[in-house]
A and B are shown apart, each in its own frame.
Chain A
């Protein structure tokens, strides 16, 4: 009997164990069959760390491969709030070092999150100070920082990036897809201290962004910026811009605006300073537009240089509007009308041509449409449909009223005359290349259309040379070179109606040297005072930039020649 009892107890215990084993078996099957993927992922997460490997943003070079922007290492500070003990003290100290609001920092380090940014991309000096605090829960991450070694120079061309290195303005924005690259990733084995261990890794390497080689010449850019800055201050202008083009190719050699900003810290400047006025602003050009009327008249064989035009002694009625010259003129030749910038003379030329012809030539010179330079915010100016112009327009459009243009459009237009009559599309990026100097994309000069014949261009060159030699642009006259150009002084439109008598645009367009133009330059000042004439304010800037740039280009050529070394006759060398 007792044996029977023990046997049944034995069976009972065995059954319990078998039952438990069966339960384990079911649980094990459930884990392996139904939860395996989830649990594998969980284990992988616990044993490995995932890192995103950031791609290095492309570098931007000038035409001589001088870097205009670079990436340098910087540190960003973050906190793990639960690890910070004396939150108040730490917040106070960080506030002193970083010059941030203490409450802001306290709010960040008191949050329940596992990770909180305190400040991104901190200068090295401050990083050392924070490390000296030796505080728990504060960590640094290395990040690339976009840095512009020339500071404000070329800022409107380059633009800038946001804190995550994404382009926000200008080339940084419009070529962002080439510059940004593709980030990679890496899985590292994680040790007990949660730090990455380079034992078993699985990587996908980042692809760095492409580099850009611009058409800009750093030296010409500097010359242009310097001259513009001096005049901008001297004439208390509200704004100013300068564009320097190679008229034979459409390459932009320099482009600058005032006021300006430092792209290393764009947030410190008003938004207005960041506007690329040369591309984004349009204005009534005034007398510089007379080159279009003159070109049309010569190309259509309606006038020759010596044809006489009576300029009505300074007062002339067109429909219900009375035109005035800034100085009364009687009889002037066609050339003199342009040289003296007579509004009445130009209107009479346009009346012979008809508004439609002037309009068509204005379009052919590129006005009324964007140039397609590829930078953001470019304006096409304003050239209304022909039907929208009134009877008085014949006394306005030919001398640059009732139309609006950008400085870049003016630069392209004067290039047409400089290069023999062709319109070239302006461009600023010459080449896109990878880190191994392999060309990804190359931009070449694009001849869009022929606007005027070579002969007309030659005739216009002579007339425009006369503007500087004996006309309104004499302050642009150089002793060493022959320049050609046209002055412009345009009244600004008064918001109350009509034209203002106190606000002007002073401009000068020209090219240099006359015989073999290497530079086409446009200088525009917005509301300069006390002087406001294009010939007084803008012409000297043109002269300075053209002279210095030509000297620089010549010295560049000479230095190139210096590299052609000739072998000396060794027998004639002094003995050792």
Chain B
């Protein structure tokens, strides 16, 4: 009776010890995995920052002026009547308000240039 009790207690202790060791091993494994994933995530964030920087550098007025306008781009600023807003959820179409004064020089280099660098939403809205 006494011996079986001792063996029982020992068994429980051993089981607990094994579980503890197993958990520690798993924690360590997961730790490595987390670190690996964190590194990947950081890498992606870093690349994203570099790409954003490149976009802003390309959107810079310096670059636009040099590489877009000087190459006689065919880009044009739309007239108000040519601008539509599409709202599929309402199954309706909106047209830009036609101003009394139509856009003078809307195709001028400055207007195109401005259009390119302005932070306006796209003409067609979804």
Contacts and interface: CB of A to CB of B under 8 A. Distances in A.
B97 A559 contact: no
A558 B103 contact: yes
A218 B60 CA distance: 9
B126 to A, nearest CB: 13
Contacts of B35: 196-198
Contact of B119 (A64, A142, A226, A565): A64
Contacts of A558: 99, 103
Given A556-B114, A563-B120, A197 B95 contact: no
18 contacts: A72-B46, A72-B50, A147-B53, A149-B57, A198-B31, A199-B28, A218-B61, A219-B61, A226-B65, A552-B114, A556-B114, A561-B80, A561-B97, A562-B123, A563-B96, A563-B121, A564-B97, A568-B95
Contact of B31 (A142, A189, A222): A189
Contacts of B38: 198
Dominant SS among interface residues on chain A: mixed
Contacts of B32: 197-198
B16 interface: no
Bin chain B's interface residue count.
Answer: 35 or more
Interface of B: 27-28, 30-32, 34-35, 38, 42, 46, 49-50, 52-53, 56-57, 59-62, 65, 77, 80, 83, 85, 92-99, 103, 105, 108, 110-111, 114-115, 117-121, 123, 125
Given A558-B99, A559-B115, 17 more contacts: A64-B119, A66-B117, A142-B42, A150-B61, A197-B28, A197-B31, A218-B117, A219-B61, A551-B110, A551-B111, A555-B114, A559-B114, A561-B80, A565-B94, A567-B94, A570-B92, A570-B93
Contacts, number: 119
A565 B97 contact: yes
A64 B28 contact: no
A67 interface: yes
A543 B93 CA distance: 43
Contacts of A218: 61, 117
B112 to A, nearest CB: 10
A559 B118 contact: yes
Contacts of B94: 565-568
Given A67-B56, A198-B35, A562-B83, A568 B99 contact: no
Contacts of A222: 61-62, 65
Contacts of B92: 567-568, 570
B93 A73 contact: no
Interface in A33-72: 64-67, 70-72
A559 B115 CA distance: 8
Q: Which of B32, B61, B85, B93 has the most CB of A within 10 A?
A: B61
A193 to B, nearest CB: 11
B60 to A, nearest CB: 5
B80 A142 contact: no
Contact of B111 (A153, A196, A555): A555
A238 interface: no
A391 interface: no
Contact of B118 (A72, A191, A556, A567): A556
Given A548-B110, A562-B80, A567-B94, A73 B46 contact: yes
Interface string A96-126: 0000000000000000000000000000000
Contacts of A551: 105, 108, 110-111
Nearest to B79: A562
Nearest to B56: A149
A450 interface: no
Contacts of B119: 64-66
Contacts of B50: 72-73
A556 B77 CA distance: 12
B56 to A, nearest CB: 4
Q: Which of A191, A199, A218, A556 has the most CB of B within 10 A?
A: A199
A151 interface: yes
A1 interface: no
